[in-house]
Amino acid sequence: MPVTFHRDIAPIVQRSCASCHRPGEVGPFSLLSYADVAKRSKLIAIVTGSRYMPPWLPGPDGLPLERSRALSPGEMDAIRAWVEAGAPEGDPRDAPPPPTFPTGWALSEPDLVLELPEAFMLPAEGRDVYRNFPIPVPVSERKHVRSVEFRPANRTVVHHAVLFVDRSGAARALDRADPRPGYGGMGSGPAHVPDGIFVGWAPGRVPDLGLEDVSWKLEPGADLVLQIHMRPTGKPEPVAFQLGLHFASHPPTAHPVAIRLMSREIDLAAGAKDVTVGDRYELPVDLRILGVYPHAHYVGKDCLATLLFPDGRQETLFHIPDWDFDWQDAYRFANPQLLPKGTAIEMRWTYDNSRDNPRNPSDPPQRVVFGERSVDEMGELLLEVLPREEDLPLLWRDFAWKEQRDDLAYFERLSREEPANPQWFAGLGNRLLRGRRVSEAIAAWRRVVELRPAQPGPLAQLGHALVAGGEGTEAVEVLRKALELEPARLEARIDLARALELLGRAPEARAELESLLERDPRNAAAHAALGEILARTVGPEGAARHFEAAITSNPDHAVALRSLAELRRGAGKLDEALALFQRSIAVDPDDAAAHHGLGLLLEERGSRAEALKHLELAHALEPADPAYEADLGRARGAGESR
């Protein structure tokens, strides 16, 4: 039976082409009618035969993915046969029903509609534009978002969009510092993936309402950061966007986690081909991988993720054999399989920085190194994973250790290779301090101050490290120098108060913080620091008031949450203390004191197995703390004696 348009080709076009190739969408022409398709039939055969269209980067050798736009071999054969036969129309009675497309919100009316505070004017010419737009969220209490529907006003210029969350206010500051709406960059800056869940849009993606039990939290005072990839059309184009948020009726009962495999070891000589970098992570718990988000720039060529099972089996998790920066997307697995503890995930990116790569933006090719600028290169694979609820703390802790080791090795190498570059010593100092290697962190920040003398930022960071190391006298001297240069540097004033308390000058420390709060009554960090000093020097009553004020200003202030939990536990309010400890650890899984306090609380409540897990985490985080070691030994002994 000969292939005809209405019977054989129209269903393929409607499923895989028409969502983008219709009036008002990103496709450059419509493919809704026989006439539309027939006059471009030869072009369609070429681009579908090469798999250039429809845009779907993953190859067939990975695990099955949801909503694949890829054409099957049979569909490709049908298109080729139809074109070779002269593109016959066939009987219109064989045609499928005409496609319908939503004109308003595709889902029900959203619970909250947000939009860009100001339209962005895309220039007529030039390279693709990546722009990040902070959007204030007018909620007065915590909400849980189950789904987001994206509505770009000008779909012809918006290539794709990704949504992030920022609770720090730093994204808003970057926006204010840029004269145009938003701020530039391919990276998300201070914003992060919302609670481990990928939230994004690309042309042709059909919105769905998600699941009641899987959602992400949205706090009062938070900003959503919408990153938009835009493509100039030859004339100035206004870009506006609406977001329709749908809330869950209750907090999530399942909590996905975002794990990022990446490499910074990218240094591509001009003309280099088939250069590979990689990363590896061995799972500390059983889990399911829900989805992946690969990311590289223009000279990325091949992305491969492999599963190495404990029994020696290997399986391809995900593969993009021909990366195209212009068509990056996030992907979800159709049937997420359970991966056992001990399974290793290996990521490999391959690059082509030669003239043979048609997507290379430089001619002649130039050296390309790791970085977030468009002229730099990256190699990442973000994994959305779902462990058992009881395994969440262990996964958080284990992956944080991996990132800490990787970051530390990177900055140690760069500081050795470029000993006159303060940027590398600053990164090294931050990572050493995060790893509790305080004396080494102090040395790194001394080097930054040596290279950049009389700058308030490095002095403040050195003072912060000195406070962490208990060096109160020098810390006071260094922090006062920083504040002379920049009196408005609030974190330095908070550290000065801590340094004064180290020296036994608690009244002066309190005065510093009280003065700061007179000028900025909602400063969460100042409230938390004053609460800590009051708890140690005066008592719990006044301290609790300041911890509560800190949490009101910033619901994710981990220190205030943990400190208030300790006060509530001391007062016998165990249910309230339990909730506060859990919130604190959700924000900062590396806080040994929070794990220790939660472990003791769970032990009091009779949950011995869960208590032991948190006491073990506290000891692993702070192995030199004798109290943590003693409590862990006692809990283990009590368990063995039962």
For the residues of 288-357, what is the DSSP string, one character each? Answer: EEEEEEEEE-TTEEEEEEEEE-TTS-EEEEEEESS--GGG---EEBSSPPEEPTT-EEEEEEEEE-STT-
- Give the pLDDT score at 205: 67
pLDDT range class, residue 204, cuts 50, 70, 90 = low
For the residues of 580-633, what is the DSSP string, one character each? Answer: HHHHHHHH-TT-HHHHHHHHHHHHHTT-HHHHHHHHHHHHHH-TT-HHHHHHHH
pLDDT at 17 over 60: yes
> 396-407, pLDDT tens digit by residue?
778 888 988 898
- Examine domains 112-247 and 257-387 and report if their fold is the same: yes
Amino acid at position 46, single letter = I
What SS3 state is found at 372?
coil
> 134-170, pLDDT tens digit by residue?
999 999 888 999 999 998 888 778 878 999 998 878 8
> 450-489, pLDDT tens digit by residue?
999 889 999 999 999 999 999 999 999 999 999 999 998 8
- Who contacts 493 (Cβ-Cβ below 8 Å, separation ≥6)? 479, 483, 512, 513, 516, 526
Q: CATH fold of 257-387, please? A: Jelly Rolls (2.60.120)
pLDDT at 547 over 90: yes
Do 159 and 131 meet the contact criterion of CB atoms below 8 Å apart? no
Alpha carbon distance 426, 335 (integer Å)? 44
First CA to last CA across the chain, in angstroms? 77
> 557-613, pLDDT tens digit by residue?
999 999 999 999 999 999 999 999 998 987 887 788 999 999 999 999 888 888 988
Give the whole-number percent of the chain exceeding pLDDT 90. 55
- Which sign, positive or negative, has the C-alpha torsion 191, 393, 434, 406? negative
Phi first, then psi: what are they for 107, rounded to 5°? -90, -170
CA dist list (Å): 283 to 280, 383, 387, 590: 10, 12, 10, 18
What SS3 state is found at 278?
strand
- Report the pLDDT averaged over residues 421-437: 91
Do 515 and 526 meet the contact criterion of CB atoms below 8 Å apart? no
pLDDT at 202 over 80: no
pLDDT at 217 over 80: yes
- Give the pLDDT score at 190: 80
- Give the pLDDT score at 212: 83
Do 193 and 164 meet the contact criterion of CB atoms below 8 Å apart? yes
Alpha carbon distance 499, 493 (integer Å)? 10
- Report the pLDDT averaged over residues 518-528: 91
The residue written with tokens 């070691």 in the block is: 629
Nearest Cα neighbor of 562 from 549, 573, 551, 553 is 551
Helix (H) or strand (E) holding 434: helix 422-434
Q: Can you state the percent helix, strand and coil of the chain, rounding each to 5?
A: 40, 20, 40
Structure tokens that stand for 303 in this block: 């992305």
What SS3 state is found at 160?
strand
CA dist list (Å): 155 to 239, 240, 433, 607: 9, 10, 46, 54
Alpha carbon distance 357, 302 (integer Å)? 12
CA-angle at 326, arms to 325 and 329, nearest 5°: 80
Nearest Cα neighbor of 154 from 207, 230, 206 is 230
DSSP character at residue 196: G
pLDDT range class, residue 641, cuts 50, 70, 90 = low
pLDDT at 496 over 80: yes
Least confident of 34-48, 99-113, 296-310: 99-113
Neighbouring CB atoms inside 10 A of 418's CB total 12
pLDDT at 621 over 80: no
- Give the pLDDT score at 355: 94
Nearest Cα neighbor of 173 from 117, 134, 227, 221 is 134
- Give the pLDDT score at 240: 92
Alpha carbon distance 222, 134 (integer Å)? 10
pLDDT range class, residue 365, cuts 50, 70, 90 = very high
What SS3 state is found at 152?
strand
What SS3 state is found at 18?
coil
Amino acid at position 427, single letter = G
Q: 2-31: buried (b, 16+ CB within 10 Å) or exposed (e) per residue? A: ebbbbbbbbebbbebbbbbbbeebbbeebb
Domain boundaries, the chain: 5-94, 112-247, 257-387
CATH match of 112-247 with 1.10.10.10: no
- Give the pLDDT score at 556: 83
pLDDT at 640 over 70: no
Instruction: Give the mean pLDDT of the chain.
Output: 89
- Give the pLDDT score at 538: 85
Amino acid at position 436, single letter = R
- Give the pLDDT score at 639: 59
